[in-house]
Chain A
Amino acid sequence: MSKVIEEIHAAARQLLEDGKVDVVIGFEKGTLPLKATPCFIRSPQEVEKLIWDETCDNNLANYVRQIKGKKAIVAKGCDTRALVVLMQENQVAREDLYILGVSCNGVINRKKIEAETGEILSAELAEGKISVQGMNGSKEFAFADVKDDTCQSCRYPNPVLEDAHFGDKVETGNQEVPFADVVAMEEKSLLERRAYFQEEMAKCIRCYACRNACPMCYCNECFVDCNSPKWLTGGVDPAENMMFQVGRSLHLAGRCVDCGACVRACPQGVDIRALSRKVTKDCLTMYRHEAGVTLEDPPALNQFSTEDPQGFLVKE
Chain B
Amino acid sequence: MKISKDKWGQVFDALASDYQMLAPKEDKGEVNFKRVNCFSEVKQGYLNTKLPAKALFFPQHETLFTYQKEGQGITVKNALKVEKTIAFGVRPCDARAFLLLDKVFNNDQYRDPYYCDRRDTTLVIGLACSQVAPTCFCSQMGLSPVSTAGTDLLFIDLGEAYAVEAVTEKGKEFVAKLQGLEELNAEDQVKLETLKNLQTSSSVDISALTEKLDSMFDHPYWDSLHEKCLGCNACTFSCPTCHCFDITEEFRKTEGNRVRSWDSCMAPLFTKHGSGHNPREDKKARWRQRMMHKFNYFVHNNGDIACVGCGRCLKACPVNMDLRQVIDAVNKAELVVK
Residue ranges of A at the interface with B (Cβ–Cβ < 8 Å): 30-32, 35-40, 58, 62-63, 67, 115, 118-119, 121, 135-136, 199, 203, 205-209, 211-213, 225, 233-237, 261, 264-265, 267-269
Contact = CB atoms under 8 A, between A and B. Distances in A.
Contact of A35 (B227, B320, B325): B320
Contacts of B259: 233-235
Contacts of B28: 199, 203
Nearest to B272: A225
Give me the 3 closest cross-chain CB pairs, A-B, nearest first. Answer: A265-B318, A212-B230, A234-B261
A205 B60 contact: yes
Interface string B221-237: 00010011011111001
A124 to B, nearest CB: 16
A156 B20 CA distance: 53
6 contacts: A37-B320, A206-B233, A234-B61, A234-B248, A261-B318, A264-B318
A236 B60 contact: yes
Contacts of A199: 28
Interface in B222-263: 224, 227-228, 230-234, 237-238, 246, 248-250, 259, 261, 263
Given A235-B259, A236-B261, A207 B135 contact: no
B324 A213 contact: no
A34 to B, nearest CB: 11
A210 to B, nearest CB: 8
A209 B47 contact: no
Interface string B113-143: 0000000000000000001011100000000
A32 B318 CA distance: 12
A62 B320 contact: no
A4 B319 CA distance: 23
Nearest to A221: B269
Nearest to B250: A233
Contacts, number: 108
B5 interface: no
Given A58-B319, A234-B61, A207 B228 contact: no
Interface residues of B, number: 44
Interface in B293-338: 314-316, 318-322, 324-325
B230 A62 contact: yes
Contact of A208 (B30, B233, B248, B316): B233
B71 interface: no
Contact of A205 (B51, B318, B324): B51
Contacts of A30: 320, 322
B288 to A, nearest CB: 17
B61 A207 contact: no
B135 A32 contact: yes
Contacts of B264: 207
A115 B233 CA distance: 23
Given A135-B47, A234-B263, A267-B316, 16 more contacts: A30-B322, A31-B322, A31-B325, A40-B227, A58-B319, A115-B29, A121-B133, A135-B133, A203-B30, A205-B51, A205-B60, A209-B230, A209-B232, A234-B259, A267-B234, A268-B50
A269 B259 CA distance: 26
Given A234-B248, A235-B61, A211 B47 contact: no
Contacts of A63: 227-228
B91 to A, nearest CB: 14
Interface in B37-83: 45, 47, 50-51, 60-61
A132 to B, nearest CB: 13
A263 to B, nearest CB: 10
Contacts of B320: 30-32, 35-37
Nearest to B136: A119
Given A58-B319, A119-B47, A234 B30 contact: no
Nearest to A115: B29
A236 B320 CA distance: 25
B30 to A, nearest CB: 7
Given A115-B29, A118-B47, A234-B248, A207 B314 contact: no
A125 B51 CA distance: 30
B228 A39 contact: yes
B247 to A, nearest CB: 9
